[in-house]
């Protein structure tokens, strides 16, 4: 059955056109020959394939015609049109749905970073202006799914589009109004059901055993207690020991001196007769030299005896005086020993004045645990989020080797920017019911701070209901930087209540307002340290029983009306808090008041102990005094003897002088008479 040739060959062609359109596009000699054979030249000089070919010929010509058609042009127009259509569709779709797509993309990104649901409303992206804005954004708290980690009101981002083409997200400026934290949610913000994770702040907030403080109330003492105390401590008391010793010592002294003095008194008695006899000599009545010489001779032994007795009494007196001087020293020693014993006994009833350090420590620890601990956990969280912003491409999988040579990336002068960089952000909340007024700024937030060479810095000011918080800080995650975090926190006029731990001061509760100025620094090992100053004002203490301490506290706090505490603290990598109070006025105030009261009490207790000690030493002291009196009496007797001796000596000496003069006169008269006689 005759068939029509394919469409390409039905037309009539001029020779040139036939060559150009068909033959030039046949590259197989066999095909070329076949076509030339099938084609005929018409009377008009044109070339065409005549109809009436068989099926086999048609089939072959169709195959050739198809390949000829394919061999035209360089571009696949169909595919290009399809591509253009796809691009067009994408563009139209993007124009219509770009905001929605970005919204979903941003929500997914935030959910990946924060690990909880994120919701954005009213997002609008202006491509050529590089501005992204939205009406509302909220991100749930991973730890507390029924609360938002933060919420943003009307917000606008200025994005560097040029950098987007380099794959970097650089936010030139973010302006945000009505930022809120920790707000309640209508629905759970958990992405998936996860077991409740242990709070990162647990370590910082872990409960420490309550500090009860020293027992300051056990300081009173009764007479019975004093007697009992002296009895218990008798072995350790120097005064009783010394008193016994002296009493024993003085009894031997008495014996020693009494005999000597009695002997001297006897001798003196014997001498008194001789002295009386000498006294009775009347020198005027003596008429001769012989009588005078005789009287003088009777005087001589008495003078010698008197000298001997005087010498003996002087020796006894010197010795006795020496012993009496020792007795005087011993009296002083006894008084000193008694005072030392009173001091010792006084110390046994807990009158130390250095036991007021617990209050400040307790208050400071409470505030630190409550606020700085929470802050520490927030910082820890923030650091985790910053780490998540680091590009994952930096983390190469171990053991993954490319098949081909990787070559070298030649670097040219350029400013390599981080994958994410928030240059400047400012936000504010004006007179919110819950948060009051907030103003905040954040600069240079990035996961690659080494590329920008700056740390992330921020400042936050919040004022609400007379309270205010100021938080300024910097987070430096650049390599080998220490400290990583530096923070200054000022919290003013916040209420504080302490209900436990002050019982040892007879205080059942402390209600006040506080102001904190705290410095905080954290290094690479999560080891943090800082200093803080706490000022407690509007102090209201609920006192228990009325005693010395409560009176002291009242008196102390009535003065300045505030408590000021300075402290330095460290939190190690495990979250353990170490606190050292550097200065505080409370201890000084309480110390001064309690110290004064303690002084009074100490005197009272000492007097009581002195009375009791005196009572107990009474017998021993009486014996001692008796001995002392005896010695004194001996001394008196000795002194009497000495004066007698002196009187005798005076009398004898006078008589002696008188007699010597008489004898000299007699001798002179006698010589004159002899001279006259001669």
| DSSP state for residue 23 in the 8-state scheme | G
| DSSP state for residue 178 in the 8-state scheme | S
Q: Which is nearer to another protein, 26 or 375 (CB)?
A: 26
Contact stretch for another protein (CB under 8 A) within 61-69, 201-209, 497-505, 558-566: 61-69
Residue from 403, 433, 479, 675 in contact with another protein (CB under 8 A): 403
Q: Which is nearer to another protein, 29 or 574 (CB)?
A: 29
Half-sphere exposure (CA, 13 Å, Cβ side) for 579? 23
Residue from 57, 67, 353, 526 in contact with another protein (CB under 8 A): 67
Minimum Å gap between C-beta 17 and another protein is 19
Q: Which residues contact 296 (CB under 8 A, 6 or more apart)?
A: 656, 659, 660, 663
Minimum Å gap between C-beta 159 and another protein is 13
Q: Which of residues 20-49 bind another protein (CB under 8 A)?
A: 25-31
Q: Which is nearer to another protein, 66 or 497 (CB)?
A: 66
Best CA proximity match to 372, nearest among 581, 475, 520, 486: 520
Q: What are the tokens at 677?
A: 């006689």
- Whose tokens are 């009497």? That residue is 640
Minimum Å gap between C-beta 91 and another protein is 18
Q: What are the tokens at 344?
A: 């010792």
Q: Which of residues 144-163 bind another protein (CB under 8 A)?
A: 162-163
Best CA proximity match to 211, nearest among 464, 502, 494: 502
Q: Which is nearer to another protein, 141 or 163 (CB)?
A: 163
Q: Which of residues 68-107 bind another protein (CB under 8 A)?
A: 68, 70-71, 73-76, 79-80, 83
Residue from 410, 674, 677, 678 in contact with another protein (CB under 8 A): 410
Minimum Å gap between C-beta 407 and another protein is 3
Q: What is the size of the binding site for another protein (CB under 8 A)?
A: 38
Q: Which is nearer to another protein, 87 or 97 (CB)?
A: 87
Residue by residue, DSSP assigns 264-280 as: HHHHHHHHHHHHHHHHH
Minimum Å gap between C-beta 168 and another protein is 9
Distance CA 521, CA 417 (A): 28
Residue from 8, 49, 61, 64 in contact with another protein (CB under 8 A): 64
Contact between residue 292 and residue 662 where contact means Cβ atoms under 8 Å apart: yes
Minimum Å gap between C-beta 70 and another protein is 8
Contact stretch for another protein (CB under 8 A) within 42-50, 62-70, 200-208, 363-371: 62-70
Minimum Å gap between C-beta 35 and another protein is 11
Distance CA 267, CA 262 (A): 9
Q: Which is nearer to another protein, 410 or 678 (CB)?
A: 410
Best CA proximity match to 468, nearest among 439, 509, 446, 447: 439
Q: How far is CA 307 from CA 91, 176, 262, 635, 677, in A?
A: 147, 121, 18, 20, 43
Distance CA 73, CA 253 (A): 148
Residue from 224, 285, 400, 409 in contact with another protein (CB under 8 A): 409
Contact stretch for another protein (CB under 8 A) within 19-27, 312-320, 345-353, 421-429: 19-27
For residue 483, cis peptide bond before it (omega within 30 degrees of 0): yes
Helix (H) or strand (E) holding 626: helix 585-677
Contact stretch for another protein (CB under 8 A) within 101-109, 385-393, 404-412, 535-543: 404-412
> What character string, x for contact with another protein (CB under 8 A) and - otherwise, covers 112-151?
----------------------------------------
Q: What are the tokens at 628?
A: 């002392």
Distance CA 354, CA 103 (A): 66
Contact between residue 295 and residue 326 where contact means Cβ atoms under 8 Å apart: no
Across-strand partners of 141? none
> What character string, x for contact with another protein (CB under 8 A) and - otherwise, covers 163-202?
xxxxx-----------------------------------
Minimum Å gap between C-beta 30 and another protein is 7
Q: Which is nearer to another protein, 167 or 266 (CB)?
A: 167
Q: Which of residues 631-660 bind another protein (CB under 8 A)?
A: none
Residue by residue, DSSP assigns 584-615 as: EHHHHHHHHHHHHHHHHHHHHHHHHHHHHHHH
Residue from 414, 465, 574, 678 in contact with another protein (CB under 8 A): 414
Q: Which is nearer to another protein, 78 or 209 (CB)?
A: 78
Minimum Å gap between C-beta 164 and another protein is 8
Distance CA 150, CA 181 (A): 4
Q: Which is nearer to another protein, 129 or 633 (CB)?
A: 129
Best CA proximity match to 508, nearest among 477, 574, 452, 553: 553
Q: Which is nearer to another protein, 68 or 429 (CB)?
A: 68
SS3 566: strand
Sign of the CA dihedral with 74 first, then 79, 84, and 85 last: positive
Contact between residue 446 and residue 421 where contact means Cβ atoms under 8 Å apart: yes
Distance CA 269, CA 507 (A): 83
Q: Which is nearer to another protein, 83 or 95 (CB)?
A: 83
Contact between residue 380 and residue 484 where contact means Cβ atoms under 8 Å apart: no
295: how many CB neighbours lie within 10 A of its CB?
Answer: 20
Q: Which is nearer to another protein, 56 or 282 (CB)?
A: 56
Residue from 413, 479, 676, 677 in contact with another protein (CB under 8 A): 413
Contact between residue 557 and residue 545 where contact means Cβ atoms under 8 Å apart: no
> What character string, x for contact with another protein (CB under 8 A) and - otherwise, covers 338-377?
----------------------------------------
Contact between residue 383 and residue 475 where contact means Cβ atoms under 8 Å apart: yes
Q: Should residue 408 be labelled a site residue for another protein when binding is judged by CB under 8 A?
A: yes
Minimum Å gap between C-beta 82 and another protein is 10
Distance CA 19, CA 648 (A): 186
Contact stretch for another protein (CB under 8 A) within 102-110, 290-298, 401-409, 569-577: 401-409
Residue from 37, 56, 401, 404 in contact with another protein (CB under 8 A): 404
Contact stretch for another protein (CB under 8 A) within 65-73, 240-248, 419-427, 450-458: 65-73
Q: Which is nearer to another protein, 332 or 394 (CB)?
A: 394
Sign of the CA dihedral with 11 first, then 12, 13, and 18 last: positive
Q: Should residue 496 be labelled a site residue for another protein when binding is judged by CB under 8 A?
A: no
190 CB burial (10 A radius; 0-12, 13-18, 19+): middle
Minimum Å gap between C-beta 75 and another protein is 6
Q: Which is nearer to another protein, 413 or 465 (CB)?
A: 413
Contact between residue 2 and residue 53 where contact means Cβ atoms under 8 Å apart: yes
Minimum Å gap between C-beta 118 and another protein is 28
Minimum Å gap between C-beta 489 and another protein is 41
Best CA proximity match to 281, nearest among 606, 579, 652, 672: 652
- Binding residues for another protein, rule: CB under 8 A, are 25-31, 64, 66-68, 70-71, 73-76, 79-80, 83, 162-167, 403-414
């Amino acid at each position: 059955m005759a068939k029509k040739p394919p469409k390409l060959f039905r037309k009539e062609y001029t020779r040139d056109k036939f060559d150009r359109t068909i033959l030039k596009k046949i590259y197989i000699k066999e095909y070329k020959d076949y076509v030339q054979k099938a084609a005929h030249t018409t009377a008009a000089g044109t070339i065409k394939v005549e109809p009436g070919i068989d099926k086999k010929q048609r089939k072959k010509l169709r195959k050739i015609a198809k390949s000829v058609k394919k061999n035209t042009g360089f571009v696949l127009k169909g595919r290009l049109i399809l591509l253009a259509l796809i691009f067009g569709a994408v563009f139209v779709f993007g124009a219509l749905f770009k905001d929605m797509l970005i919204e979903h993309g941003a929500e997914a990104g935030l959910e990946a970073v924060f690990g909880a649901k994120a919701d954005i409303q009213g997002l609008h992206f202006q491509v050529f202006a590089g501005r992204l804005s939205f009406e509302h954004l909220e991100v749930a708290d991973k730890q507390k799914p029924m609360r938002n980690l933060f919420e943003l009101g009307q917000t606008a981002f200025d994005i560097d589009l040029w950098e987007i083409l380099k794959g970097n997200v650089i936010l030139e400026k973010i302006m945000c109004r009505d930022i809120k934290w920790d707000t309640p949610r209508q629905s759970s913000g958990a992405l998936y059901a996860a077991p409740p994770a242990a709070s990162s702040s647990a370590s910082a907030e872990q409960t420490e055993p309550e500090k009860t403080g020293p027992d300051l109330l056990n300081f009173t003492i009764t007479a019975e207690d004093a007697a009992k105390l002296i009895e218990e401590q008798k072995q350790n008391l120097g005064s009783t020991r010394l008193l016994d010793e002296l009493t024993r010592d003085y009894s031997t002294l008495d014996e020693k001196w009494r005999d000597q003095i009695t002997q001297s008194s006897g001798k003196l008695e014997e001498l008194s007769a001789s002295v009386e006899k000498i006294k009775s000599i009347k020198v005027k009545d003596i008429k001769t030299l012989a009588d005078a010489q005789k009287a003088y001779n009777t005087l001589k032994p008495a003078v010698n005896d008197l000298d001997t007795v005087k010498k003996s009494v002087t020796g006894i007196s010197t010795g006795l005086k020496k012993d009496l001087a020792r007795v005087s020293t011993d009296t002083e020693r006894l008084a000193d020993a008694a005072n030392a014993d009173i001091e010792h006994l006084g110390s046994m009833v807990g009158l130390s004045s250095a036991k007021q350090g617990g209050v400040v420590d307790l208050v400071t620890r409470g505030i630190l645990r409550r606020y700085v601990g929470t802050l520490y956990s927030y910082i820890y969280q923030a650091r985790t989020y910053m780490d998540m912003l680091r590009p994952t491409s930096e983390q190469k999988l171990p053991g993954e080797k490319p098949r081909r040579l990787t070559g070298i990336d030649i670097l040219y002068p350029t400013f390599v920017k981080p994958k994410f960089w928030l240059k400047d952000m400012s936000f504010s909340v004006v007179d919110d019911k819950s948060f009051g007024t907030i103003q905040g700024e954040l600069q240079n937030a990035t996961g690659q701070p080494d590329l920008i060479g700056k740390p992330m810095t921020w400042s936050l000011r919040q004022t609400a209901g007379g309270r205010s918080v100021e938080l300024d800080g910097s987070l430096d995650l650049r390599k080998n930087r220490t400290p990583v975090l530096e923070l200054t926190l000022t919290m003013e006029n916040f209420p504080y209540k302490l209900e436990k731990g002050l019982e040892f001061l007879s205080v059942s509760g402390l209600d006040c307002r506080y102001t904190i100025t705290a410095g905080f620094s954290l290094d690479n090992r999560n080891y943090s340290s800082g200093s803080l100053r706490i000022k407690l004002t509007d102090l209201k203490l609920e006192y228990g029983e009325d005693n010395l301490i409560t009176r002291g506290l009242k008196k102390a706090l009535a003065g300045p009306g505030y408590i000021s505490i300075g402290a330095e603290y460290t939190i190690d990598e495990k979250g353990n808090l170490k606190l050292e109070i550097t200065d505080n006025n409370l201890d000084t105030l309480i110390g001064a008041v309690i110290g004064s009261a303690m002084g009074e009490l100490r005197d009272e207790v000492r007097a009581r102990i002195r009375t009791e000690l005196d009572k107990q030493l009474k017998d021993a002291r009486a014996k001692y005094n008796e001995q002392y009196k005896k010695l004194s009496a001996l001394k008196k007797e000795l002194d009497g003897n000495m004066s007698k001796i002196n009187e005798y000596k005076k009398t004898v000496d006078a008589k002696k002088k008188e007699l010597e003069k008489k004898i000299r006169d007699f001798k002179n008269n006698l010589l004159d008479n002899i001279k006259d006689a001669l």
